Amino acid sequence: MSNLEFHDLEQKPSNWQGILELDYQKIDNSTQLVKAYSQAPLKIQRSFYPEGKEICHNIILHTAGGIVGGDRLSQTINLQPKTQVLLTTPAASKIYRSTGEIAQQNIKIDLQEHAYLEFIPRETIVFKGAIFSQNIQVNLAESACYLGWEITRFGRTARGETFNQGQWKSCTEIWQNGCPLWIDRQGFIANEDLLNSPHSLGGQAVIGSLTWVGQPVSEDIVKNIRQLWEQRETSSQAGVTQLISGLLCRYRGNSTQEVIDWFTDVWRLLRQNYTGQLIVKPRVWQI
């Protein structure tokens, strides 16, 4: 999927200029959100601490309900030294059909010394005819650690919709001390051949990537994560690869819940092995 072409279109004036700026600081052994600036349609809910004061949970909201062509969304997230944060969304993000304009989202994340971020949003549903581009840049200090995932469903398949019109682009860059640790560029121009090609979606509607970067991953951990997948009875496909100081998981299938369940199992294993702590799923997921 990462080798498919994506043709940029001429940008036109946006409908929404959403902005979210978050800054976290460690105060008295508690991770605190000390700066939260937002401009509609982006908004941040108040902090929750279901795991104790060291790990701050926040929910990012998109109050307009969905993203349309011409929207420009920008998020800037900074974790000061020794902060621990979990960020997620309450529900699937929706990218609506476009009349020709690109919907764009840019996310910049800075993790300072010994900071740890889990960036685990719910899935994104790209409607037939949507044109969407997302860029995520993560900058890690030497001792920082990042776990993030991206899950995308092409078309409203529950309604029988096929994503045979539209464009999607996603680029994730993770840097440490000015050196790239992981750069992942994916793009998809919708057409029937690519939808069904084994080198693209292979007739599936859902793809997912989970990235863990900042600490080396042993062969035993890779083996255990592969076993977490192999024990499932499914026709979907998945893979696990070691990165420089990290790990990459890929998914291609038809079930959003299946990939979320597997990624959650991977998240649980990594959290236990590298922090010694158990995960607590965001309570908004239970609603």
Name the nearest CA neighbour of 194 among 222, 162, 151, 229.
162
The percentage of the chain sitting over the pLDDT mark of 90, rounded to a whole number, equals 78
Residue 182: what pLDDT?
93
Residue 136: what pLDDT?
98
Per-residue pLDDT at 65 exceeds 90: no
Average pLDDT over residues 39-58: 95
pLDDT tens-digit map of 209-250:
999 999 899 999 999 999 999 999 999 999 999 998 999 999
Residue 287: what pLDDT?
57
pTM of the model: 0.92
